[in-house]
Structure 1
Amino acid sequence: MRAKIENDVLFLHHEDVPEYKKGGSVVRNSYFWALRSIAGRASRYGDWEYEPEVWFALTRMLLSFAESGYLGLKETVLEFPLSQGGIPDVLRDVSTWE
């Protein structure tokens, strides 16, 4: 998922976050609700926002869903632009550069 940090807020690109689909995969729908539940802001057509206080929980959640084997790396790894600078330590286990 494309990600960036601005003013100590992590933004996930709205086109990359999972979609809720009625009657869809239980894993994907659970993933949607789990990510949404800790987001500071999660609008349908805007980037999802996460404050530093939840980054540790976000990391554990991404690792857990990645290890389940039901979701691909593109869906569970944060992809930061090279221009971002450093990746915070708490997010390193679930992050890479674009």
Structure 2
Amino acid sequence: MRARIDNNVLFLHHEDVPEFKKGGSVVRNSYFWALRSIAGRARRAGDWEYESEVWLALARMLMSFTESGYLGYRETILEFPLSQGEIPHVLRDVGTWE
């Protein structure tokens, strides 16, 4: 998922966050609700926002879904632009460069 940090807020690109689909995959819908539940803001057509206070929980959740094997790697990894600078320590296990 494309990600960026601005003013200590992590933004996930709205086109990369999972979609809720009624009658869809239980894992994907659970992933959607888990990500949404800790987001500071999760607008339908906007980037999802996560304050630094929840980054540890986000990292643990992403790692858990990655290790489950039900979702693709690109769906559970944070892809930062090279211009972002250093990836915060708490997000290094689930972050990479685009």
What TM-score, normalized by structure 2, do the two folds share? Answer: 1.00
Using the alignment, how far apart are the partners of 1:43 and 1:79 within structure 2? 20
The answer to whether 1:68 aligns with 2:68 is yes
> In the comparison of the two structures, how many residue pairs are matched?
98
Q: Structure 2, unaligned stretches of length 5 or more?
A: none
Q: Which amino acid aligns with 1:54?
A: V
How far off is 1:22 after superposition? 0.1
How far off is 1:25 after superposition? 0.1
Q: Per the alignment, in what secondary structure is the counterpart of residue 16 of structure 1?
A: coil
Q: Structure 1, unaligned stretches of length 5 or more?
A: none
Q: Which runs of 4+ in 1 moved over 2 A?
A: none
What TM-score, normalized by structure 1, do the two folds share? Answer: 1.00
| Alignment RMSD (CA, Å) | 0.2
**Aligned residue number for residue 96 of structure 1:** 96
Using the alignment, how far apart are the partners of 1:8 and 1:66 within structure 2? 24
